[in-house]
Amino acid sequence: MKDLEIKLIEPIVKAVKAIFGVDFPVNQINFQTTRKEFDGDITLVVFPVVRFSKKSPEQTAEDLGEYLVREVQFVEAYNVLKGFLNLVISDSYWLESYASAYQKSDYGFVKTDDSAPLTIVEYSSPNTNKPLHLGHIRNNLLGYSVAEIIKASGTRVKKVQIINDRGIHICKSMLAWKKFGQGETPESSGLKGDHLVGKYYVRFDQEYKKEISNLLVEGKTEEEAKKEAPILKEAQQMLRAWESKDEEVVDLWTRMNQWVYSGFDTTYTRLGVDFDANYYESETYLLGKKYVDIGLEKGVFYQKEDGSVWVDLTDEKLDHKLLLRGDGTAVYMTQDIGTAIQRHLDFDFNKMVYTVGNEQDYHFNVLFKVLSRLGYSWAKDCRHLSYGMVDLPSGKMKSREGTVVDADDLMEEMVTTAKSISEELGKLDGFDEEQLASVYETIGLGALKYFILKVDPKKRMVFNPSESIDFNGHTGPFIQYTHARICSLQRRAESSGIVLKPESELHPKEKELLKVILCYPDIIQEAAKDCSPAVLANYTYDLVKEYNQFYQQVPIFGTQSEDDKAFRIGLSSMVGKVISSSMCLLGITVPERM
């Protein structure tokens, strides 16, 4: 629709000049989509013109409407509602635009080359003390889809993650395995490596709570007990040993991290996400310390008597932020400073998007200001894609207590549920076992991804697996089933040619469908600008709803006109292409049969 708006701008400016004798500012031209209850395809908001016309909004709109119908070939009719001018656009305009779109194999996408701007998108960023869970799934799906959408909008993209592979949490898993693991490995246990390490993170917490209870019985306060529990002190000592590069501790850390990386890779592969570069906190925190020292030398930061380094952001309506502890150990901010600077050295990016939950809003506000104070002008082009947490119908998750929904378990549950519902509905008769397994995987993971991505990233959400697999609702399987229906129609029509114009005028449902199809390039740009896969997901659902209404109301094979049949088959094919393209940007596969 942006193309239509662009084509109308010059005639509207000419109309105001010819009728009212004034030069109308282009930036005051405001279009809206015509509401469905009114006749029209695009609406001009007339109120900005009124102060030039010196007439009522209604009369101003009437004058403009008459001029545009008379002077613009593709404006067929108009009607006025108060200060709104609804324009009816000719069938020929829609058909010419559709014919142009149909010829493009990559319709909606903007091609890039090496001179195009580069955006870094960070997502996942797991800790190596536990497997990925439901919260990570939302993070990964958002980050991956945002990267793909930005790429489609005409920008080069690099997908990255920072792996949080150091710190007290990792030492907790290591210590518990050392004390209680008896040499257990992924091979000996049959567990994925990340699951095995996560098992000992939970075990640490169990032992820690036992020790706290014992200390409380001995008369310690709760605060004292939490600080003095022997197992916590051992973990803290292990962290100090790691930072001192103790060979035994580093060897154990390397070994257990490799278990986790292998497990993560398996999960990423099934989830369908990938990365162009990995960064490791164990390396970038050292870089961060270097840049904090530089900032201290320049007077950007200050040092307290205990040796800790801080930045004063009170003039930014923030507070004083710790950058380096008195004993020289790093905090998360230290690592993120080093990581950001290293990425710019590596990629010379134009923008960087951090896909991180909204509990870190303050952290990134501080990070971008610290980078700016260090003199990095690109800090203004860093963005925090702040998203809401994912809850279950039963409430929040706690990883240290072992109450999280594991990502691998959830994916398997979704595939199993897809199988159960498909068998109950009898939708997959005639498939062999291999085909069935593939379709169950496609439906189950499609349901999971779409249910999460259709929600505005900023909103907290509740994920209900039973609601996500519904062949008739606002779900991934509903969209997938429509795509399969279109593929079935195409197989039936293999011998028919394709024409890009009907024999007679457009059926109203054909015209509405064309209008939705032609919005696709604008939707990609909007989703990229907002970093919101929800924009694309909901557009796809609207397209599918419009197509299903068309399919029910307009005969395809039942029409007596061969040209009309061929046009409608081609129109269905175009809808299928857009569904496949848009769902691919969401990381979702659409089957040809269901």
Dihedral of alpha carbons 378, 379, 381, 387, sign: positive
The model's confidence at residue 403, banded by pLDDT at 50, 70 and 90, is: low
Q: Decide if domain 282-405 falls under CATH 3.40.50.620.
A: yes
Q: How many CA atoms lie within 13 A of 401 on its CB side?
A: 5
Question: pLDDT digit string (tens) for 167-176?
Answer: 899 999 999 9
Percent of the chain with pLDDT strictly greater than 70: 98
pLDDT at 132: 94
Output 28-31 pairs: Cβ under 8 A, ≥24 positions apart. 31/5
pLDDT at 171: 97
Residue 397 pLDDT more than 70?
A: no
**Mean pLDDT for all residues in the chain:** 94
**First and final C-alpha spacing in the chain:** 33
Residue 413 pLDDT more than 60?
A: yes
Output 310-316 pairs: Cβ under 8 A, ≥24 positions apart. 311/366, 311/370, 311/373, 313/366, 313/369, 316/369
Which amino acid makes up residue 594? Answer: M
The model's confidence at residue 401, banded by pLDDT at 50, 70 and 90, is: very low
Residue 294 pLDDT more than 90?
A: yes
pLDDT at 36: 85
Residue range 99-107: mean pLDDT, rounded: 95
Task: Give a three-class secondary structure readout of 426-456.
Answer: CCCCCCCHHHHHHHHHHHHHHHHHHHHHCCC
To which CATH superfamily is domain 2-89 assigned? Answer: Arginyl tRNA synthetase N-terminal domain (3.30.1360.70)
CATH class of 407-585: mainly alpha
pLDDT at 402: 46
Question: pLDDT digit string (tens) for 257-292?
Answer: 999 999 999 999 999 999 999 999 999 999 999 999
Residue range 287-309: mean pLDDT, rounded: 96
Question: pLDDT digit string (tens) for 419-466?
Answer: 988 888 776 777 888 999 999 999 999 999 999 999 999 999 998 887
pLDDT at 40: 95
The model's confidence at residue 328, banded by pLDDT at 50, 70 and 90, is: confident
Q: Which two tokens stand for residue 511?
A: 């015209």
Which amino acid makes up residue 243? Answer: E
H or E stretch including 91? helix 91-102
Q: Which residues of 371-400 are buried (b: 16+ CB within 10 A; e: fewer)?
A: bebbebebbeebbbbbbbbbbbeeeebebb
Single out the residue of 465, 324, 332 nearest to residue 391, CA to CA: 465
The domains of the chain are located at: 2-89, 123-275, 282-405, 407-585
Single out the residue of 554, 559, 558, 551 nearest to residue 576, CA to CA: 551
Residue range 196-201: mean pLDDT, rounded: 96
Distance CA 517, CA 104 (A): 13
pLDDT at 399: 43
CATH topology of domain 123-275: Rossmann fold (3.40.50)
Residue 475 pLDDT more than 70?
A: yes
Task: Give a three-class secondary structure readout of 46-78.
Answer: CHHHHHHHCCCHHHHHHHHHHHHHHHCCCEEEE
Secondary structure class of 205 (helix, strand, coil): helix
Distance CA 31, CA 517 (A): 19
Asked if domains 123-275 and 282-405 share a fold, the reply is yes
R_g of the chain, CA atoms, integer Å: 29
Alpha helices, DSSP H only, in 454-532? 465-468, 476-492, 508-517, 520-530
Instruction: Please check whether residue 518 is in contact with residue 1, taking contact to mean a CB–CB distance below 8 angstroms.
Output: yes
pLDDT at 496: 67
Q: Which residues of 330-365 are buried (b: 16+ CB within 10 A; e: fewer)?
A: bbebbbbbbbbbbbbeebebebbbbbbbbeeeebbe
Residue range 507-522: mean pLDDT, rounded: 96
pLDDT at 395: 52
Task: Give a three-class secondary structure readout of 529-587.
Answer: HHCCHHHHHHHHHHHHHHHHHHHHHCCCCCCCCHHHHHHHHHHHHHHHHHHHHHHHHCC
Residue 73 pLDDT more than 90?
A: yes
pLDDT at 1: 79
Q: DSSP letter for 359, please.
A: G
H or E stretch including 252? helix 247-271
Question: pLDDT digit string (tens) for 205-224?
Answer: 999 999 999 999 999 999 99
Work out the burial of residue 439: count CB atoms within 10 Å of its CB; fewer than 13 is exposed, 13-18 middle, 19 or more buried: buried
Residue range 328-351: mean pLDDT, rounded: 94
pLDDT at 394: 67
